[in-house]
Amino acid sequence: MTWLRSLPSQAVWHDTGTRVFPYAARLDGHWWVLRLNDFPEHPLLTLFVDAEVVGDLEDSQAVWRLAPCGPLPALTAPERAEVLRLMAGLGPYGAEAGTPCAGDWCTCSILTDEYVARHNTPS
C-alpha cells in the first residue's frame, strides 16, 4: 500500500453525510473520496480517486485541515448519490484489492452499501 503524507491543498472538500466515506471533493472532473477506516486495525484513512485507491493516510490532523474554519459544505443529493454509486462495495478495508477485511477485531463486516448510505445524524 502507498502511504500518503498529505491531501491535495487545492481540493474543496464536502461533507458526504456518511460516516464511512465522510469527505469528497470534485477536482479536475474526478471524485476524490476519503474512507474512514477502523483505526487502529487499519490505517486511519484511505484516499480514492474515481474509486481507485491512491493510498492510505495516518495523519489525524489531515481531517482537521480540510475545514479549518468550521463545518464543510454538504454535497447536493445528486452529488451524494453519484459518490455512493462510485464507491459501492468499497466500504470494508481491502475491498479495493478484492480482499475485504473480515477480521474479528474491526467493524469492516458491517460496512455494506446499505450501511454506507445511511445519513449521519448529529449527536
Residues 88-115 pLDDT 10s? 999 999 999 999 998 778 888 899 999 9
User: Which DSSP helix (H) or strand (E) runs through 113?
Assistant: helix 113-117
- C-alpha 21/C-alpha 37 separation (Å) is 9
Q: Is the peptide bond before 40 cis (omega within 30 degrees of 0)?
A: yes
Those residues with Cβ within 8 angstroms of residue 90's Cβ, 6 or more apart along the chain or in another chain: 35, 48, 51, 96
Question: Rounded distance, CA 40 to CA 115, Å?
Answer: 21
Q: What is the reported pTM?
A: 0.88
pLDDT tens digits for 3-38? 666 677 778 899 999 999 999 999 999 999 999 998
Q: Which of 113, 7, 21 is nearest to 68 (CA)?
A: 7
